[in-house]
Structure 1
Amino acid sequence: METSMKPAHIGRKISRIRELRGIKQETLAQELGVSQQTVSRMEQSENVEEDILAKVASMLGVTTEAIKNFSDEAVFNYFNTFNDNSFNNSNGAFNANNCNFNPLDKLMEALEENKKLYERLLESEREKNELLRQQLRKD
């Protein structure tokens, strides 16, 4: 059985790296001094000129080789290394890979604490207003 290699679709790779970096087409277009439609067409192209590729790579904070050699599989493999226990500290005192709390729970706790502080501040302001009203009535 013969398998044919698909040509590297540079535009698709640029698009994927841009998305992973959290950059919008409009932002990339503005940085390159072109329209968003031009960036869209570039991302649909299989090939991109070397000088343009170099500018895009610079804007995305990667090398041209990184774009040419990019694959989703490599990205997933990279992030999967964070779950690899071979990176543990030798004394076992701290393991950054195994977080023992849920960050979203901590965020919600902080939001609740802020809400309580706001309510206390609001109540304090109401008390001040009431004292001022009482002072005005006495005068």
Structure 2
Amino acid sequence: MSNLQFVIDGPPHGKARPRITRSGHAYTPENTRKYEKLIRDVASLAAYSQGWKITDEAVAVSICARFPIPESWTKIKKQKALSGELYPVKKPDSDNITKAVLDAMNGIVYKDDVQVIDIRVIKQYCTTGQRPGVDVEIKPVITKGA
């Protein structure tokens, strides 16, 4: 099986914590539900077009979250962001971005995100010509002795 790759357009979002009503009912915030649906839709289309079959084997996931460079920054600061000298050390956290992406791919890319044994996440600013988004790549992991 080959790798699966897709891009989620738009600024990266993290998975928000569940909210609790006064009656004690927990629910996922609307923004998180919408973002995970977007990821599911993009992942489904990519899996179909790339011939990816849902797997129950181990996988490795690489995530690159690309953030826009703030317009208010000075020319020097923008140049440092473009050259990779500055990174977006701001919200959303890498782990929350990861959680949103992995949870959304359950039942589409793999049966459950427990199968993800290797994760690489990087947050960076968009370079010239790039738009904000999240690049995702899933690779099957060949286990030794299997």
Settle same-fold status: TM greater than 0.5. Answer: no
> Which has the higher relative contact order, 1 or 2, with Cα contacts under 8 A spaced 6 or more apart?
2
**TM bucket, shorter chain:** under 0.3
Structure with bigger strand share is 2
Structure with bigger helix share is 1
TM-score by length of 2: 0.20
TM-score by length of 1: 0.20
